[in-house]
Amino acid sequence: MEVDWEKLIPKPRSRFLLVQCNECGHKQIVFDHAKIEVKCQVCSAPLAMPKGGKARILGRVLEVLT
């Protein structure tokens, strides 16, 4: 059986952020290494843009969840 080490080994640099939308104030959890653009679930404003590994957060970071 082949083991998927990617899933088993935690990546310490990866975090989840609580980001507030600049447009509507909606709070949403965003993965800070998002590979695709993350949009606000309420108004579709971009909250994070992928940028060479780590995502660029466009909203306001309220909290870092570890």
Backbone torsions φ then ψ of 14, nearest 5 degrees: -85, 135
Among 16, 18, 20, 26, interactor with Zn ion by CB under 5 A = 26
Say whether residue 62 binds Zn ion (CB under 5 A): no
Piece in contact with Zn ion (CB under 5 A), picked from 7-15, 25-33, 49-57, 58-66: 25-33
Task: Note the maximum CA span of the chain.
Answer: 48
Residues 6+ apart with CB under 8 A from 66: 15
Cβ nearer to Zn ion, comparing 49 with 53: 49
List the structure tokens of 35. 């590979």
By C-beta, is 36 or 43 nearer to Zn ion? 43
